[in-house]
Amino acid sequence: MANHDPIAAPVSALTVRNLTIDLPKGMERKHAVSGISFDLKAGQILCIIGESGSGKSVTANAVMGLLPSAIGISAGSIRCGDVELTDASPEVLRDIRGRVVSMIFQDPLSALNPLMTVGDQIDEVMFAHGEGTWDDRRARSLALLAEVGLPDPELMYHQYPFRLSGGQRQRVMIAMALALEPAILIADEPTTALDVTTQAQILDLIRDIQRRKGMSVMFITHDFGVVAEIADSVIVMEQGVIVEQGSAEQVLCNAQHPYTKRLIAAVPHLSDNDRTHEEVARSAPVIEVDNLRKEYRSGSIFFGKERVVKAVQGASFALQPGRTLGIVGESGSGKSSLGRLLVKLMDSDGGRILFDGQDIAPMKEAQFRALRPKIQMIFQDPFASLNPRSTIGRILTAGPIAHGMAPANASQEARALLEHVGLDGGAFDRYPHEFSGGQRQRIGIARALMFKPKLLVADEAVSALDVSIQAQILELLNDIQRETGVAMIFITHDLRVASQICDEILVMQRGVIVEHGPPSQIFRNPQSAYTRELVAAIPGEKIAA
Amino acid sequence: MAGYLFNRLWQSVVLLVIVSIIGFAVLNLTPGGPLSQFALTPGMTQEAMDRIAEQMGLNRPLPVQYLDWGWRLLQGDWGTSYRDGQPVLDVIGRHITATLLLMGTSTAFSIAIGTWIGIHGATRPYSIFDYTVTIGAMVALSIPTFWFGLVGIYIFTLELGWLPAGNMYTIGDGSVLNYLHHLIMPSLVLSLVNVAVWSRYMRTATLDVINQEFVKTARAKGLTERRVLMKHVVGNAMVPMITLAGMQLPSILGGALVTETVFTWPGMGRLFLDSLGYSDYPVVMGLLMVSAILVLLGSLIADLLVALVDPRIRVS
């Protein structure tokens, strides 16, 4: 393989010229990407950034020759070295895939075959290209596992993917992609599904390996924070067109195109200032939690292998009306368990939850039912949390009607609320699939507001959304809180988001609240080591304005 | 894993007991009862009837009869046939091979063909092939098995004269070829419905898997399309199919009953019908237990196979 020297005038590892890819007829636009040209310079990291539907993933798949059959390249060229990829035969493409160009994907949970061991899956890349004997390949696989920083490669080799954490799986994907020392690595949102600290580690790993091997990396992301961490040069895509390209410094510090500016502005930053509230006098708390506990038990008592996971240990806090409490932590920190305990989707093992002065923790479902409308939840996935076979009207009114509201009143209320959250009243008779992710999350918010709740629990409510949509939804929640004085618990893994919307923040680690304070303290003067670690892992703080 | 196996075996035993109680109760509650066949004998008196009942232990309360039957069953004594006085186990033993041969051939055939059609259809969805087999499957599913049997006999025996209309072999000719010749039509007819079922499920299972990320990963590795399909797609699609195969067993057994009757195949299906006709309760109960054991064994093996193939099941 050619030895790329990043200091010498970089040659182009991949040259894309006037590439146009058609979408099937009847889609909202004609081309997935139209007439794009760019170079991936040898030994560099090129970030392609854009929101969902911008055509960035389609571009990556086109390079790999992995476009779905309904989508085809209609014009332009993709050259990799001397090979033209757009009209290469399947055999040539297959030979290039994994050997010259490798790819890693967004969701490490689904990108590995669940029925094959990690070792077999790495081995397969080399096997497919006829490399080495079984013993050579095994030795190489073990070396790769060590190289990507996985503990105990020998053990890892025989492990099945479901045993591994998200970060470990992404490391396995990277090991697989590196097996044949490809010249080009395409990374399609490889850290989007990961926690901040894991994301920082994977970004470090990719950059480190790229430098050591002189690889060229095409890194696809929607997060300008990630771009600031890793990119040498940047391409900004909107609606299938490149609106801006240049060096990372150029684009980040001196963006020209309004869309780029908008994207950069939408990146949530840590805010230094705590939110100020005029009327939050010393009103009585809506909810007061005292020493709340929850344990999960797994395994069987009979066979003596019972495991106890302490999901929530001795959580205590209070929240006044009109204020927002953030609960942040990584996956497995117990933040979602705490949220589920508060809305009684799950019973606690001990402690008290005083809601409006009543202890709801020991209540049975029948007793709690009357209070349920007062505590509402907004869910993470706006695609999964709305019944696809119900109209928006039904989704909004079913709950209140079940709680005794007259149907006519309920529909009137629902239409008013839809307008309130920024959708037109016509949405009432339509179905969830007709709406975008952001719109669905607005519907989710309207559904929660139908009950005039005193407490809203939002579990990762903006995590699945593009940054610009994220900003709009946060704004909406803010407005609603100002108007209605609802108290809000905002569960998130994104510290930047938390800093923008919360009055106080709880940081959780392995079921324990390790820090509790206003955002200014948590982010600028963290007291616990874990909080400091989390804050340090936030990508892209250097572009903070 | 050992704990899981133990649990499953234990459940199977409980199920067998429940099946036997229901079977015993239903049989003995039907009008007529085991003595009805003697009542037809000319010159039979009530006195003689009572004596026979006494001899056979049929005058005892039902629960006692059941416990007695069950106790003997555990000791290996499944009772004697009312019809010819032979031990039930011997009677069933003479017929079970024929049924297992028919079921085995037909299952192997329908899995092979059904899986192939399913994969082929899923990789070319909405193609002419896909539409043709979809319609074919609907036809096969909506027409009863015995009709296909009769049509088969009409075409291949009466019109073309290629295949025998029934029985397992020609008397006096015990060659393997002769057996195979007789096996073709019944096993194909019995397979028809199962091929339809299998191909539909396999198509869905394959389509579920084929759009998953790890299939894209496999392609991105530079694997051949054939290996992507066989190893990654089919490997994962087979997991739900193994469970399905276990659950299909009762329906194949039921289908065998009809098919055996149409083709005078000397298996358990024929024996079952004949024994019912004669009110030969010990044989009917024996057949019931054998089929229940077969079905439970089938789903147990299927569950173990799934656990063997899928590491995630092994843990939970």
Instruction: For chain A, say whether B127 makes contact (Cβ under 8 Å).
Output: no
Are A158 and A119 in contact by the 8 Å Cβ rule? The answer is yes
Q: Whole-angstrom Cα distance, residue A359 to residue A199?
A: 40
How distant is the Cα of B141 from the closest Cα of chain A, in angstroms? 29
Superfamily of B93-310 according to CATH:
MetI-like (1.10.3720.10)
| Per-residue pLDDT, B141 | 86
Residues of chain A neighbouring B217 (CB-CB closer than 8 A): 103, 105, 111-113, 173, 176
What mean pLDDT comes out for the span B20-42?
Answer: 80
Domain ranges of chain B: 2-74, 93-310
Residues of chain B neighbouring A303 (CB-CB closer than 8 A): 3
How distant is the Cα of A158 from the closest Cα of chain B, in angstroms? 11
Residues 6 or more apart whose CB falls under 8 angstroms from that of A341 comprise A292, A294, A312, A347, A348, A353
| Per-residue pLDDT, A543 | 57
Q: Pick A303's closest partner by Cβ from B3, B232, B309.
A: B3
| Per-residue pLDDT, A420 | 84
Q: Does the beta-carbon distance from A115 to B311 stay under 8 Å?
A: yes
Q: Give the model's confidence band at A4: pLDDT under 50 very low, under 70 low, under 90 confident, else very high.
A: very low
Residues 6 or more apart whose CB falls under 8 angstroms from that of A334 comprise A294, A311, A312, A313, A508, A510, A511, A512
Q: What is the pLDDT of residues A80-120, one digit of tens each?
A: 888 899 888 989 999 999 999 999 988 888 899 999 999 99
pLDDT at A193 over 80: no
Q: Give the model's confidence band at A337: pLDDT under 50 very low, under 70 low, under 90 confident, else very high.
A: confident
Q: Whole-angstrom Cα distance, residue A458 to residue A461?
A: 5
Q: Whole-angstrom Cα distance, residue A112 to residue B243?
A: 23
Closest residue by Cα to residue B254 from B291, B226, B280, B283: B291
| Per-residue pLDDT, B3 | 74
Query: What does the DSSP assignment read for A426-490?
Result: GGGGS-GGGS-HHHHHHHHHHHHHTT--SEEEEESTTTTS-HHHHHHHHHHHHHHHHHH--EEEE
How distant is the Cα of A282 from the closest Cα of chain B, in angstroms? 51
Q: Whole-angstrom Cα distance, residue A94 to residue B225?
A: 9
Q: Does the beta-carbon distance from B221 to A160 stay under 8 Å?
A: no
Least confident of A74-88, A267-281, A401-415, B232-246: A267-281
Do A83 and A230 have their domain in common?
yes
Task: Mark which of A181, A211, A226 sits at the end of a domain.
Answer: A181
| Per-residue pLDDT, B316 | 55
Whose tokens are 């779905």? That residue is A68
Q: Does the beta-carbon distance from A176 to B310 stay under 8 Å?
A: no
Is residue A87 one of the residues assigned to a domain?
Answer: yes
Task: Mark which of A162, A181, A200 sits at the end of a domain.
Answer: A181
Is residue A482 one of the residues assigned to a domain?
Answer: yes
How distant is the Cα of A380 from the closest Cα of chain B, in angstroms? 22
Helix/strand/coil (H, E, C) string of A140-169? HHHHHHHHCCCCCHHHHHCCCHHHCCHHHH
How distant is the Cα of A64 from the closest Cα of chain B, in angstroms? 7
Do A85 and A194 have their domain in common?
yes
Q: What is the pLDDT of residues A451-461, one digit of tens each?
A: 889 999 998 88
What's the N-to-C CA distance of chain A in angstroms?
Answer: 42
Residues 6 or more apart whose CB falls under 8 angstroms from that of A367 comprise none
Q: Give the model's confidence band at A403: pLDDT under 50 very low, under 70 low, under 90 confident, else very high.
A: confident
Phi, psi of A326 (to 5 degrees): -95, 140
Phi, psi of A456 (to 5 degrees): -110, 130
**Residue A52 CA from chain centroid, whole number:** 12
Closest residue by Cα to residue A452 from A391, A405, A493, A514: A405
Best mutation target among B123, B126, B214 (most A Cβ atoms within 10 Å) is: B214
What's the N-to-C CA distance of chain B in angstroms?
Answer: 9
pLDDT at B17 over 90: yes
Q: Whole-angstrom Cα distance, residue A400 to residue A409?
A: 10
Do A222 and A161 have their domain in common?
no
Q: What is the pLDDT of residues B184-197, one digit of tens each?
A: 899 999 888 889 98
Q: Whole-angstrom Cα distance, residue B89 to residue B81?
A: 9
How distant is the Cα of A164 from the closest Cα of chain B, in angstroms? 12
| Per-residue pLDDT, A183 | 92
Give the domain extent around A418.
287-543
Give the rounded percent of residues in chain B with a pLDDT score beyond 90.
25
Least confident of A228-237, A450-459, B57-66: B57-66
Q: pTM higher than 0.90, yes or no?
A: no
Tell me how crowded residue B37 is: count the other CB atoms within 10 A of its CB.
15
Phi, psi of A51 (to 5 degrees): -90, 175
Residues of chain B neighbouring A302 (CB-CB closer than 8 A): 3
Is residue A274 one of the residues assigned to a domain?
Answer: no
Q: What is the CATH number of the domain that holds A70?
A: 3.40.50.300
Q: What is the pLDDT of residues A373-396, one digit of tens each?
A: 889 988 877 777 888 888 889 988
Closest residue in A to B308 (Cα–Cα): A115
Q: Whole-angstrom Cα distance, residue A141 to residue A120?
A: 9
Domain count of chain A? Answer: 3
Do A293 and A317 have their domain in common?
yes
Residues 265-324, chain A, touching B (beta carbon < 8 A): 300, 302-303
Q: Whole-angstrom Cα distance, residue A437 to residue A423?
A: 13
Residues of chain B neighbouring A107 (CB-CB closer than 8 A): 213
Q: Pick A95's closest partner by Cβ from B218, B222, B239.
A: B222
Do A388 and A259 have their domain in common?
no
Q: Is the dihedral of CA A479, A480, A484, A485 positive or negative?
A: negative
Is residue A272 one of the residues assigned to a domain?
Answer: no
Greater confidence (B13 vs A2) lies with: B13
Do A455 and A515 have their domain in common?
yes
Closest residue in A to B211 (Cα–Cα): A68
Instruction: For chain A, say whether B220 makes contact (Cβ under 8 Å).
Output: yes
Q: Does the beta-carbon distance from B220 to A64 stay under 8 Å?
A: yes
Q: Does the beta-carbon distance from B217 to A107 stay under 8 Å?
A: no
pLDDT at B114 over 50: yes
Q: Is A308 left (phi over 0), alpha (psi -120 to 50) or beta?
A: beta
Closest residue in B to A175 (Cα–Cα): B221
Do A160 and A202 have their domain in common?
no
Global ipTM: 0.78
Query: What does the DSSP assignment read for A216-240?
Result: EEEEEES-HHHHHHH-SEEEEEETT
Closest residue in A to B227 (Cα–Cα): A128
Q: Does the beta-carbon distance from B217 to A173 stay under 8 Å?
A: yes
Least confident of A313-327, A522-536, B31-45, B53-67: B31-45
What mean pLDDT comes out for the span A511-528?
Answer: 87
Q: Is A130 left (phi over 0), alpha (psi -120 to 50) or beta?
A: left
Q: Whole-angstrom Cα distance, residue A387 to residue B161?
A: 59
Beta-carbon pairs below 8 A across chains A and B: 74
Do A381 and A401 have their domain in common?
yes
At A276 the three-state DSSP class reads coil
